Amino acid sequence: MFDRYVAIGDSFTEGVGDELPDGRVRGWADFVALGFAIAAADRAETERPDPRQDASATAVRYANLAIRGKKLTPILDEQLDAALALGPDLVSLNGGGNDIMRPRVSITEVADRLVAAADRLVDGGAHVLLLSGGNPSAHVPMGGLVEQRGDRLAAAVRAQLPRDGITFVDNWADRVLRDGRYWSADKLHLNVFGHVRVAGNVLEAFDVPVPAEWRIAEVAAAPAGPPSRRNAAYYREHVLPWIGRRLTGRSSGDNRSAKLPTLEPVTIVEPTGL
């Protein structure tokens, strides 16, 4: 369906929590691009009238401009125009997760800006995948406040949909995704299984087959994980650095650039870590 896919957003879209052995992060958007590429290759194989025809003509290209730690304003200011400049036929947009973690935030304003940005992308010629992140509230400090704000943000976005040219995938409402099996050590970012589940939700929304080797159904059918426990090491390694950055006005994304700033062909490989 799409062969020029650009992802914009923060750590959720960058892929934090799904770290590869070489230090790179992968994440759900990478898996979505891979799913598109697999489907395109399968379609090309069945539709080519001439066996000598080069199947690479249907290759999916993918860029990921997301940078961890970004609030919604810098996402829109720094990534939206850059995404449109690549001439995509699909742009995924997620943001606001870092905004709702701040002491003060206007949920209505965040929702309105997300939907307005999606409309602008549609006007620019792209279909928009607007999606929410998973709900970490069962695992993080002050989870009740996080859940309350996340519920309000998801509801405020849903209230303005459906709209032409926008596909909304509500991962916040995915109850399975709340289980501890899907979350990384910092309990705020998804691990590989969480990112793969989000990718499966997206591919299903576009009626694209989800590769069986991703084991999404198998992981979901397994027993639930144990309740999250936050000990002194957890606060020392994950919470205190976060507080330190807030107090000093720093971000985990400072001095970082996009991991994939231009559209690149997606190589079909079997994912590791599953």
- pLDDT (0 to 100) of residue 57: 47
Contacts 24+ apart (CB under 8 A), 99-104: 99/71, 99/72, 100/146, 100/149, 100/150, 100/153, 101/146, 102/71, 102/246
pLDDT higher at 227 or 50: 227
Condensed to tens digits (0 to 9), the pLDDT of residues 47-72 reads 665 554 554 445 899 999 999 999 99
- pLDDT (0 to 100) of residue 238: 73
- pLDDT (0 to 100) of residue 54: 52
Condensed to tens digits (0 to 9), the pLDDT of residues 90-149 reads 999 999 999 988 888 999 999 999 999 999 999 999 999 999 999 998 888 878 888 999
- pLDDT (0 to 100) of residue 50: 56
User: Tokens for 30?
Assistant: 């990478």
Cα angle for residues 55, 61, 64 (degrees, 5° grid)? 160
- pLDDT (0 to 100) of residue 132: 96
Contact between 78 and 115 under an 8 Å Cβ cutoff? The reply is no
